Amino acid sequence: MQAIDEAGLANTTILRIANRANVSAGIISHYFGGKEGLLEATMRQVLGDLGQEVARRRAAAGGSPRAQLRAIIDGNFDRNQVSRAVMKTWLAFWASSMHRGNLQRLQQVNDRRLYSNLCFQFRRCLPRDEARDAARGLAALIDGLWLRGALASETLDAERARRLAYDYLDGRLARTECLA
Amino acid sequence: MQAIDEAGLANTTILRIANRANVSAGIISHYFGGKEGLLEATMRQVLGDLGQEVARRRAAAGGSPRAQLRAIIDGNFDRNQVSRAVMKTWLAFWASSMHRGNLQRLQQVNDRRLYSNLCFQFRRCLPRDEARDAARGLAALIDGLWLRGALASETLDAERARRLAYDYLDGRLARTECLA
DNA sequence: ATATCTTTATTGAACGTTCAATCAATAAAA
DNA sequence: TTTTATTGATTGAACGTTCAATAAAGATAT
- Asked whether the beta carbons of residue B9 and residue A97 sit closer than 8 angstroms, the reply is no
pLDDT digits (tens, 9 = 90+) for B128-161: 999 999 999 999 999 999 999 999 888 889 999 9
Whether B5 is covered by a domain: the verdict is no
pLDDT digits (tens, 9 = 90+) for A144-164: 999 999 998 888 899 999 999
- How far is residue B93's CA from residue B18's CA, in Å, rounded to a whole number? 20
Check residue B80 and give its pLDDT. 82
Torsion of CA A72, A78, A80, A82, to 10 degrees: 110
Average pLDDT of B97-123? 95
Of all nucleotides, the one whose C1′ comes closest to residue B32's CA is: C21
Domain that holds residue B139: 35-178
Whether B153 is covered by a domain: the verdict is yes
Residues in B closer than 8 angstroms to A140, CB to CB, are 141, 144-145, 147-148, 164
**Total number of domains constituting chain A:** 1
- Which residue, B121, B96, B128, B140, is CA-closest to B180? B121
Q: Out of B107, B150, B164, name the one closest to residue A137 (CB).
A: B164
Check residue A34 and give its pLDDT. 92
Of all nucleotides, the one whose C1′ comes closest to residue B36's CA is: C20
Q: For residue A59, is pLDDT > 50?
A: yes
Find out whether A94 and A4 touch, Cβ atoms under 8 Å: no
Confidence label for A177 from pLDDT (cuts 50, 70 and 90) = low
Whether A28 is covered by a domain: the verdict is no
Check residue A180 and give its pLDDT. 45
Average pLDDT of B47-61? 96
| Greater model confidence, B178 or B80 | B80
Average pLDDT of B36-41? 95
How far is B95 from chain A, CA to nearest CA, in Å?
Answer: 6
Q: What is the CA radius of gyration of chain B?
A: 18
Whether B25 is covered by a domain: the verdict is no
- pTM attached to this predicted model: 0.93
Find out whether A70 and A138 touch, Cβ atoms under 8 Å: no
State what percent of residues in chain B have pLDDT above 70.
97
Whether A25 is covered by a domain: the verdict is no
- Which residue, A144, A152, A87, is CA-closest to B138? A144
Phi and psi, residue A154, nearest 5°: -75, 170
pLDDT digits (tens, 9 = 90+) for A10-25: 999 999 999 999 999 9
- How far is residue B2's CA from residue B30's CA, in Å, rounded to a whole number? 21
Amino acid at A143: D
Q: How many CB pairs under 8 A join A and B?
A: 121
User: Residue A116 in 3-state DSSP?
Assistant: helix
Domain harbouring B170, CATH code: 1.10.357.10
Whether A121 is covered by a domain: the verdict is yes
User: Residue A100 in 3-state DSSP?
Assistant: coil
Whether A157 is covered by a domain: the verdict is yes
- Asked whether the beta carbons of residue A139 and residue B144 sit closer than 8 angstroms, the reply is yes
DSSP 3-state percent helix, strand, coil across chain A (nearest 5) = 80, 0, 20
Check residue A179 and give its pLDDT. 47
Alpha helix segments (H runs only) across chain B: 2-7, 14-21, 25-32, 34-60, 65-76, 84-97, 101-123, 128-151, 158-175
What's the per-residue H, E or C state across A35-89? HHHHHHHHHHHHHHHHHHHHHHHHHHCCCCHHHHHHHHHHHHCCCHHHCHHHHHH
Check residue A155 and give its pLDDT. 82
Question: Residue B176 burial (CB < 10 Å; 0-12/13-18/19+)?
Answer: exposed
Average pLDDT of A115-131? 97
Average pLDDT of B87-100? 93
Whether B102 is covered by a domain: the verdict is yes
Residues in B closer than 8 angstroms to A99, CB to CB, are 7-8, 10-11
Check residue A80 and give its pLDDT. 82
Check residue A178 and give its pLDDT. 47
Average pLDDT of B25-36? 94
Of all nucleotides, the one whose C1′ comes closest to residue A25's CA is: C12
